Amino acid sequence: MAHLIASQVAVAVPLGNDLSLKRTALKVSNLNFQDKSWALVLTFDLKASNSQLRSLRVTCMSVQQASVPKVTVSPLELEDANEPPLNIYKPKEPYTATIVSVERLVGPKAPGETCHIVIDHGGNVPYWEGQSYGVIPPGENPKKPGSPHNVRLYSIASTRYGDNFDGKTASLCVRRAVYYDSEIGKEDPSKQGVCSNFLCNSKPGDKIKITGPSGKIMLLPEDDPNATHIMIATGTGVAPFRGYLRRMFMELVPKFKFGGLAWLFLGVANTDSLLYDDEFTKYLKDYPDNFRYDKALSREQKNRSRGKMYVQDKIEEYSDEIFKLLDNGAHIYFCGLKGMMPGIQDTLKKVAEQRGENWEEKLSQLKKNKQWHVEVY
């Protein structure tokens, strides 16, 4: 019964350290924010030994504002700067922020675990959509005894106002990095991603050292509010696009009233691996003329050749339309693992040749026009 509730009711996690993810009980309460009524709040134990509880899929805060057209944000002074903030805090002098919440994003059939992590920076580390934070995990760098770990960069998955719309938090979308040993047929606990596991294991109130913000490549161009934005992501690469879409469709931002087209292509393994799907599905319902959403589920869908459906196959499926949009000035963004780009480039080159175009020349022109945005890791 609890699983049924979790799959149908959006989950909100309010600020404050009194909510501990160590609880194994289900808490149901009401939340008022900006004088608006929000849906139920459900919190689950992400570290409980109960396997059924751990398998619950948690939906991030803010999806449940279905009765509210758009959410008021503050402080609006965050709109005043003409240039994005850059490297306010550096590795030698990082900012100590606080973990607000850690939520499992994926269902039980997803390969691996991906978490949504909200960090309270108190408004001291402002950022723009599309930027990244650096995270310095605790402990000593094994390659440099006595020195801290190197900085790990994570794309920010929220707007500049954060999940609580007050400009004091930032959200990260983090997949737990583990090593699967094929010889023993299970994970090797001695080989884990240092920073991703630190983040996914964190609990409310824990301290975290952050640097940045950094990055200008993935900033959302806002000079034309009616522009077309084609967003292509694999897995956690959807992080910056979640920020874009919240700014376009969820927040009431006086200086940015989006009237263009946002088209998201998201590639993951299966339905349980979809990230922020409830948010995106809501935009599709509320803004059908301004948002399109296509999923490539490699373990559940087949492409035209009856092979696995990857994000490049979806691009090829809509290639004529995509090329026409690019010819008319659309911006195209790619974010995810490096391995996504060769297949996508091959697909785009093949389509260009079928259209009688030279892909290298077209790509050069897209870059020159600042329509081409890539951030892979």
CA 225, CA 241: separation in Å to the nearest integer? 16
pLDDT value for 68? 52
Give a yes or no: residue 31 inside a domain. Answer: no
Of 30 and 145, the one with more pLDDT: 145
CA 255, CA 79: separation in Å to the nearest integer? 7
- The two tokens of residue 360 are 């290298």
pLDDT value for 182? 67
Q: What domain count does the chain have?
A: 2
Answer yes or no: is 337 a known binding residue. Answer: yes
**Candidates 127, 133, 154, 333; catalytic one:** 154
**Candidates 62, 132, 155, 273; catalytic one:** 155
pLDDT value for 57? 44
Residue 86 has pLDDT above 50, yes or no: yes
User: What is the span of the domain harbouring residue 372?
Assistant: 220-376
Give a yes or no: residue 86 inside a domain. Answer: yes
As a whole number, the mean pLDDT across the chain is 85
Answer yes or no: is 299 a known binding residue. Answer: yes
Tell me if residue 161 is catalytic. Answer: no
pLDDT value for 327? 96
pLDDT one-digit tens code per residue, 61-81:
444 444 458 999 999 999 999
pLDDT one-digit tens code per residue, 295-315:
999 999 999 999 999 999 999
Tell me if residue 195 is catalytic. Answer: no
pLDDT value for 139? 94
Name the maximum alpha-carbon separation found in the chain: 62
Answer yes or no: is 336 a known binding residue. Answer: yes
- Residues 232, 295: one domain? yes
* CATH for 227: 3.40.50.80
- The two tokens of residue 111 are 């390969």
- Residues 247, 361: one domain? yes
- Residues 245, 280: one domain? yes
Between the alpha carbon of residue 63 and those of residues 55, 154, 277, 278, the distances in Å are 20, 23, 10, 7
Tell me if residue 155 is catalytic. Answer: yes
- Residues 341, 367: one domain? yes
Tell me if residue 377 is catalytic. Answer: yes
Of 205 and 61, the one with more pLDDT: 205
pLDDT one-digit tens code per residue, 319-355:
999 999 999 999 999 999 999 999 999 999 999 999 9
Answer yes or no: is 353 a known binding residue. Answer: no
- Residues 198, 80: one domain? yes
- Residues 309, 199: one domain? no
Tell me if residue 375 is catalytic. Answer: yes
What sections of the chain are H helices per DSSP?
2-8, 51-54, 194-201, 239-249, 277-286, 311-317, 319-327, 340-354, 359-368
- Residues 156, 249: one domain? no
Among candidate residues 159, 185, 214, the one where a domain is terminated: 214
Answer yes or no: is 298 a known binding residue. Answer: yes
pLDDT one-digit tens code per residue, 218-275:
999 999 999 999 999 999 999 999 999 999 999 999 999 999 999 999 999 999 999 9
What's the pLDDT band for 278 if we cut at 50, 70, 90?
A: very high
- Residues 209, 315: one domain? no
- Residues 245, 207: one domain? no
Give a yes or no: residue 137 inside a domain. Answer: yes
pLDDT one-digit tens code per residue, 31-50:
444 444 344 334 344 444 44
What's the pLDDT band for 178 if we cut at 50, 70, 90?
A: confident
CA 277, CA 284: separation in Å to the nearest integer? 10
Mean pLDDT, range 356-362, rounded to an integer? 96
* DSSP-derived secondary structure letter, 216: S
Among candidate residues 190, 214, 238, the one where a domain is terminated: 214
Mean pLDDT, range 120-134, rounded to an integer? 98
pLDDT above 90 covers a percentage of the chain that reads 75
- Residues 118, 157: one domain? yes
pLDDT value for 164? 96
Among candidate residues 172, 197, 214, the one where a domain is terminated: 214
